Each structure stands twice: as C-alpha cells, then as structure tokens.
Amino acid sequence: MKRISLALLLAIVFAVFGCADTSAQTDQNLRGKKALVAFFSRADENYDVGYVAKDNTQILAQMIAAKINAPLFHIQTIKPYPK
C-alpha cells in the first residue's frame, strides 16, 4: 500500500512540475542569440494517405520556427529519391 501511495504521489509531482510553463525561460535563453530551424523532409507519396505536400516533419519545423521567431531551412538532396 505504501508503494502504491508513493508511486501515485510521484506521478502527481512529475505531472505538476513536468507541465510547467517554460516559454519565458526559452525566450530568456534565446535573447540576443540567433537560431535557425533546419529540417529534412520527404513529402511525396505516403503509403497510408497517398500524396502529401507537407509531411509531419515540415509542419513541426514550421511550428517551432514560428514559436521561436527563427528562419526555416529545408535541407534537400541533390538527386531525388527513387519512387
């Protein structure tokens, strides 16, 4: 019973402190510094849904770049992948 109570207490503590707002801390860490969001994404044929113009990696990179106000760079291959 003590182990269950301790595990429940630890889960609550981790949930409270793990969900803390860190946006002010992130802004403070990036103040005066430059950042670049570089990503590699291969949006094209998808097995499940067919053709996609943007895949999850590109969408997530755009969200991060908007959040930290940084430029976005899409890394591309010289030769396209075979289909």
pTM for the full predicted model: 0.55
CA distances from 5 to 13, 15, 19 (A): 12, 15, 21
CA angle 57–61–66, rounded 5-degree value = 155
Number of domains in the chain: 1
Give a yes or no: residue 82 inside a domain.
no
31-45: pLDDT as tens digits: 778 899 999 887 676
Domain carrying residue 12: 2-75
Q: What local confidence, expressed as pLDDT, does residue 71 receive?
A: 95
Averaged pLDDT score across all residues of the chain: 78
- Measured CA to CA, the distance from residue 65 to residue 63 in angstroms comes to 6
Separation CA 73–CA 51 (nearest Å) = 22
User: Which structure tokens are listed for 75?
Assistant: 């890394």
> What is the model's pLDDT at position 70?
93
81 found inside a domain: no
